[in-house]
Structure 1
Amino acid sequence: MSSAPVFECEAAVFGKGVGESILVKLSINEWMIVDSCMDGNNQPAALSFLKSNGIDVETDVKLIMISHFHDDHIRGLSETIEQCKSAIVVISAALNTNEFEKYINALSINGQEMAKTKEINKIMALLPSLDAEDRIKYAKRDCLLYRSGSNIEVHALSPCDRDITKSKLDFVNSLKVASNSREVASAAGRLVNPNHYCIVTRIMSPTSQNNEILLGADLETSKQEGWEAVCEAVNSPKNKKTGLFKLPHHGSKTGYHARTWDELIKLNPVSVLTTYDNSSLPRCDMINIYKNLSSTVYCASKPKDLIETQKDKGKFAEALDITKKMGSTVKAIHNNSQYGYIYFNKCLTNQMTAETFLAATIL
């Protein structure tokens, strides 16, 4: 008797220069949203995409994951949670502490920092009602987060126990230093790197031997922690099934881990990332490394290192001036929009396809 066909899975990666969100279709009427950013109309990208495609977000979004609490990963998440009334909300176990709540409160004291914590405060205000509805799950290494009706599984590969313990100490120490500082929020913010407590996610099907998805969030390399601990996870794809890799930390050096590529990633996978323009990530040196490791590297928007130079911009302005002086009616359009996305089909097979939209590009 033949087995039932494997649901091939679909995924989209959204970015806006500063911002990242991921959408995964786990079954016919089951979707997962990882993090949030705003689209070109200043709406939560994944939410807007689903609605525009006729998806009932109230019933069909089953899982919302907050990989970590950096501002570029959470914009619009409170609205997303409120509208997706059937979704389980997943938060890193490293952030399920009183110390973390006090840390966020300390950051919020400073008006300058308030913009960075406003969204997470909104999310935290939703937690009591979510808890009452049994809609919160705390992720840690080797935790099964969800199994869809099509037998697709979502596993957390981080944070490890060591990272969870360390997070409590980090938050406590940051507040001790902050209590002796006039700049409370700045002192607290300098001591804790939330990237260490990210949720790395493995999406796979036990019935498929062809391909998997690995979402790297912003996890960084660290001895006995971070990516090193992911490689030690019982549920990590050690037989190198990962063929679609969402590169960690916007393609930065801090997210590159040779052992991960050697042990968990297929040869010549498809890689995808978003930019972080505030720090000019990814940079050309790492772009070249990832291109050499991958069959294709997709990016939701063009990295700043590859965008035209100021000299080129000056030439563009000069050309416009010349056409005006000539009395030409021709209008030149200089597209500065950084919002784009990549849509992947058949993600759990060797026949995966991808299409870029708006500012998204192949590097």
Structure 2
Amino acid sequence: MHVGDGNWFVIDSCRFPGSKTPAAIAYLETLKINPSSAIQSILATHWHDDHVKGLADIVRRCPQAAFAMSAALEQEQFFQLVYEANESNKFVEASSTASEFADILDHFVETGKKIVSPDIFASEGSILYLGGVDESVRVQALSPSSAAITSCKTDVVAKLMTNSTTRCFRQFDPNDLSVAVQVSTPVLDLLLKADLENSDSAQLGWQAVLSSKVRTKRTSQLVKVGHHGSVNAHNDDVWSSMVDPNPLAVVTPYSRLADPLPREHDIKRIKSLTNRLYSTTWPPSSRPPRRRGVDSDIRSATKVRRARNRAPGFVRVRFSISQTP
């Protein structure tokens, strides 16, 4: 995300199939921009595999960039157990979420940081970036809430101790700890919803964002749809009170489920709120049912079988201070 004056703010990371280069780095290089000097801020919204692949590479290549992550994981015990999980993962999977996190912590050690931790721990209301004329460009975290942080700090160590060999931190960093952000500029705002979901508690998820006393009350004209368009991240009150009517909306599909996201009813729901919905790739189809006889023949003739994913892509939105997207 270009935040003006040649400065870029990177949120999460992925790699395109067949490439070891993080997508954000590859994109900037196609624009003839030097990522090492241009990227000023890096945010890990949460530590799920589909959000962090290549993140450590970006952090290492951009020594001047401020690195931010959820304040819910601000505890020395968690960092220690990241290393423990990563050591056991080396015998299971080299490219796990734990290895990305551990690589970033290793980088902080190598650079001589007295305190091995991110530069910013993000929570509701915290400012992650200020720039532009008179600091008119602002990136503000909307989550996690204070209650989410407190809850996480009381149980994350116990969970890690009983699951220290797992490859995936999904159960240690649930979606209600995601860092959703609002980007404010002189002419429009962007709501980037990460994977933050609704909750039964008024103190968690989007319910906490709506009742927050510290978030900006400006409405957004561009929305990155939350959690791949899933209904569990949809909140009518967010759309009515935090978003302008008929916003420009972007959704990122997720194919690694038996019933991938967004589903047909998700697309219909979002399109009922805007006629300007864009997708970074074609929404994936549900996996076809397998027939026992056919499956047996295929297994006898092939070593590996996997669904072919559609080619990934991106949606680019450009605007100036005198134009809307």
- Output the aligned Cα RMSD: 2.8
With normalisation by structure 1, the TM-score equals 0.74
Matched, 1:63 2:41: yes
Letter of the structure 1 residue corresponding to residue 41 of structure 2: L
Of 105-114 and 339-348, deviating more is 105-114
Query: How far apart are residue 256 of structure 1 and its match?
Result: 1.1
Contact 1:164-1:197 at 8 Å conserved across structures: yes
8 A Cα contact 1:107 1:188, kept in partner? no
1:208-232 CA distance string (max 9 Å, x none): 3xx2101111111112201111112
More strand by share: 1
The equivalent of 1:31 in structure 2 is 8
Q: Which whole-Å CA distance do the structure 2 matches of 1:35 and 1:213 have between them?
A: 16
Shift of 1:103: 4.5
Matched, 1:161 2:146: yes
User: SS in structure 2 opposite 1:25?
Assistant: coil
Q: CA deviation at 1:60?
A: 1.5
| Structure 1, unaligned runs of 5 or more | 1-23, 179-183, 312-334, 353-363
Q: What is the letter of the counterpart of residue 231 of structure 1?
A: L
User: In the alignment, which residue of structure 2 is the partner of 1:238?
Assistant: 217
Distance change >3 Å, CA 350–CA 231, structure 1 → 2 = farther
Q: Residues 255 and 309 of structure 2 are in contact (CA less than 8 Å); yes or no, is this contact kept in structure 1?
A: no
- 1:147 to 1:173, Cα distance in 2 relative to 1, 3 A: same
Residue 132 of structure 1, CA deviation: 4.9
Do 1:140 and 1:161's aligned partners in 2 also have CA atoms closer than 8 Å?
Answer: yes
Q: Is the 8 A contact 1:33 1:63 kept in 2?
A: yes
Number of the residue aligned with 1:145? 128
Structure 2 distance, partners of 1:175, 1:310, is 36
Out of 223, 226, 249, the residue aligned to residue 248 of structure 1 is 226
Q: Distance in 2 between matches of 1:251 and 1:291?
A: 11
Report what 1:351 is aligned to.
324
Q: In terms of Rg, which structure is larger?
A: 1
Q: Partner amino acid for 1:342? A: V
CA contact (8 A) 1:175 1:188 kept: no
Structure 2, gaps ≥5 residues long: 291-307
Describe the superposition over 1:150-182 as per-residue Cα deviations: whole angstroms up to 9, x where unpaired. Answer: 42111111111111111112312313544xxxx
State the percentage of identical aligned residues.
Answer: 27
Change (3 A) 1:131 1:276: farther
1:120 corresponds to 2:105 = no
Aligned to 2:302: none
Letter in 1 for 2:241: E
Q: Relative to structure 1, is the Cα distance of residues 36 and 175 closer, same or farther in structure 2, using a 3 angstrom cutoff?
A: closer
Whole-angstrom CA distance in 2 between matches of 1:347 and 1:298? 20
Mapping 1:312-327, distance limit 5 Å:
none
- TM, length-normalised to structure 2: 0.82
